Amino acid sequence: MAKAFKYGLKGITGYLEPAERELLRSLIDDVISMLEPADSTSEDPLTALIGLDMDVQEPSDRALRRLLPNVMKNDGAASLEFRQLTERSLRENKIGALRAAALGLDTNELVLSPADARHWSQALNDVRLVLAERLDIRDDADAEHVHTMQDWSQAEDVESYLALVYNFTTWLQESLVQAMLQSMEPRG
Amino acid sequence: MTLSVALGPDTQESTQTGTVTSTDALTAPDIPWNLVIWNDPVNLMSYVSYVFQSYFGYSEPKANKLMMEVHKKGRSIVAHGSKEQVEQHAVAMHGFGLWATVEKATGGGKDGGSGKGKGKRG
């Protein structure tokens, strides 16, 4: 079983079993593939250089829309304009954090630098946002319902399996963030 | 968790007024904008507070107070500034996975933090 992240002399440390690392790796890969631009081969090199993407649209997938939200609540046109300027680098930033976290999944014993920890917390958060959309978590009551699924022997269909995976990543992120908050406290 | 503190006096701008230079007003009239964080059932309360502390440099009580406001009221204004400033913050918040939008300050709105969002603490 995984151990909760802790803050100590070596920094932030954790422990994951091989099967848990495999699970996280595949979850992270899924999110990376969602975030990678659809056809980067045919694109204008100037577009790539300056990061401006005039072809970008608001994502139709709900999970992707949650990862890359509109910047204005009630102004689709202004949000789209902003998206053209920023979405590409936001995707790259997220992919960078996800890749960095995946790289750390090569050993059971995890020792995270402050930068690693930040990448991990971002990556786990994005993984959870995507899982939550797949699980249709819309409000606190939905979240509470999913949270009651804690027993792996109950995993009898895709939804209950997803719920257990979601709860595992929630637990892992919570322990990581607690360790990060501790590491920020002034000592002595 | 620290729930709330008395409404912070949050001395608006009092220390900054000396540096105002009105002549190089390339950036149009300085209409204030707000950075709004919205509640969602996924983001951990601890994580939201961590983001407010690490990105904006807010104290733990202030970060927790804003986080609880998001949680209970559904949204909170966590920073304000020029349009460009709050847009930059919004992108950073999206990077962290928080649901952030920007909006024109309508005036009179005293809710939320008065933070000017100093940006990354590193």
Q: Are B92 and A69 in contact (CB under 8 A)?
A: no
**Chain A residues closer than 8 Å to B89 by CB:** none
Per-residue pLDDT at B107: 61
- Record the pTM: 0.83
What CA–CA distance (Å, rounded) separates A73 from B36? Answer: 10
Whether the predicted pLDDT of B110 surpasses 60: no
Whether the predicted pLDDT of A86 surpasses 60: yes
Q: Shortest CB distance from B94 goes to which of A69, A139, A173?
A: A69
Name the CA radius of gyration of chain A, rounded: 18
Asked if B103's CB is within 8 angstroms of A90's CB, the reply is: no
Per-residue pLDDT at A4: 94
pLDDT digits (tens, 9 = 90+) for A93-104: 999 999 999 999
By C-alpha distance, the chain B residue nearest A181 is: B50
Q: Shortest CB distance from A125 goes to which of B41, B96, B103?
A: B96
Asked if A82's CB is within 8 angstroms of B87's CB, the reply is: yes
Give the whole-number percent of chain A exceeding pLDDT 90: 75
3-state secondary structure B12-61: CCCCCHHHCCCCCCCCCCCCCEEEEEECCCCCCHHHHHHHHHHHHCCCHH
Q: Does A126 touch chain B (CB under 8 A)?
A: yes
Average per-residue pLDDT for chain B: 76
Whether the predicted pLDDT of B13 surpasses 70: no
Q: How many angstroms separate the CA of residue A125 from the nearest CA in chain B?
A: 6
Per-residue pLDDT at A90: 96
Q: Shortest CB distance from A71 goes to which of B43, B87, B96?
A: B87
Average pLDDT in the A133-153 region? 90
Average pLDDT in the B110-115 region? 45
Task: Say which range, A55-59, A135-139, A176-180, has the weakest mean pLDDT.
Answer: A55-59
**Chain B residues closer than 8 Å to A143 by CB:** 41-42
**Chain B residues closer than 8 Å to A89 by CB:** 91
By C-alpha distance, the chain A residue nearest B52 is: A181
Whether the predicted pLDDT of A87 surpasses 90: yes
By C-alpha distance, the chain B residue nearest A114 is: B122
pLDDT band at B70 (very low <50, low <70, confident <90, very high): very high
**Regarding predicted confidence, which is higher, A188 or A11?**
A11
Q: Shortest CB distance from B101 goes to which of A68, A72, A132?
A: A72
pLDDT digits (tens, 9 = 90+) for B17-30: 444 444 444 555 56
pLDDT band at A149 (very low <50, low <70, confident <90, very high): confident
**What DSSP line would sit under A52-103, residue for residue?**
--TT----SSHHHHHHS--SSSS-HHHHHHHHHHHHHHHHHHHHHHHHHHHH
**Regarding predicted confidence, which is higher, A49 or B86?**
B86
Q: Which of A62-93 are b and which e, b meaning 16 or more Cβ less than 10 Å from the residue's Cβ?
A: ebbebbbbbbbeeeeeebbebbbbbbbebbeb
Q: B-contacting residues of A 70-89, CB under 8 Å?
A: 70-73, 82, 86, 89
By C-alpha distance, the chain A residue nearest B92 is: A90
Per-residue pLDDT at A54: 75
CA geometry: angle at A55 spanning A50 and A56, to 5°?
85
ipTM score over 0.90, yes or no:
yes
pLDDT digits (tens, 9 = 90+) for A30-81: 999 999 976 555 566 766 666 677 788 899 999 999 999 999 999 999 999 9
Asked if B90's CB is within 8 angstroms of A90's CB, the reply is: no
pLDDT band at A117 (very low <50, low <70, confident <90, very high): very high
pLDDT band at A185 (very low <50, low <70, confident <90, very high): confident
Per-residue pLDDT at A107: 87
Per-residue pLDDT at A43: 62
pLDDT band at B119 (very low <50, low <70, confident <90, very high): very low
Say how many CA atoms lie within 13 Å of B2 toward its Cβ: 13
